[in-house]
Amino acid sequence: MSVEKRFLIENKLGLHARAATQLAKLAMAFDAKISLSQGGKTAEADSVLGLMLLESSQGKEVLVRCEGPDQDQALLAIGDLIQAKFNEDE
């Protein structure tokens, strides 16, 4: 059974290259299948290009879904990264 939660993209540039790279690196650290969905599109969290193709800009909501042994930790960590605005100085 998977876990999922919606998060609001708050950083000014949205899910751009650097943010997508950070998210992908974080996703690869967990033993879980992680995907993000927004606007009818879905991308695997370990694919920088896939994440960028979601076109998740500031103010958009993404659904993060995790499934696997580390699913709870993965959801928490990815949620923290998104809520921390990908550690960007705005």
DSSP state of 22: H
- 83 to 52, 68, 69: CA distances (angstroms): 18, 23, 23
Q: Which residue out of 5, 13, 16, 68 is catalytically annotated?
A: 16
Predicted confidence at residue 89, as pLDDT, reads 83
In the chain, which ranges are E strands? 3-8, 33-38, 41-44, 61-67
**All structural domains of the chain with their residue ranges:** 3-87
Please tell me the pTM assigned to this model: 0.96
- Classify residue 27 by burial, with Cβ atoms within 10 Å: 0-12, 13-18, 19+: buried
16 is catalytic: yes
DSSP at 31: S
Asked if CATH classification 3.30.1340.10 holds for the domain at 3-87, the reply, yes or no, is yes
- At residue 37, the pLDDT reads 98
Mean pLDDT by 10 residues, the chain (90 residues): 97 96 98 97 98 97 98 98 92
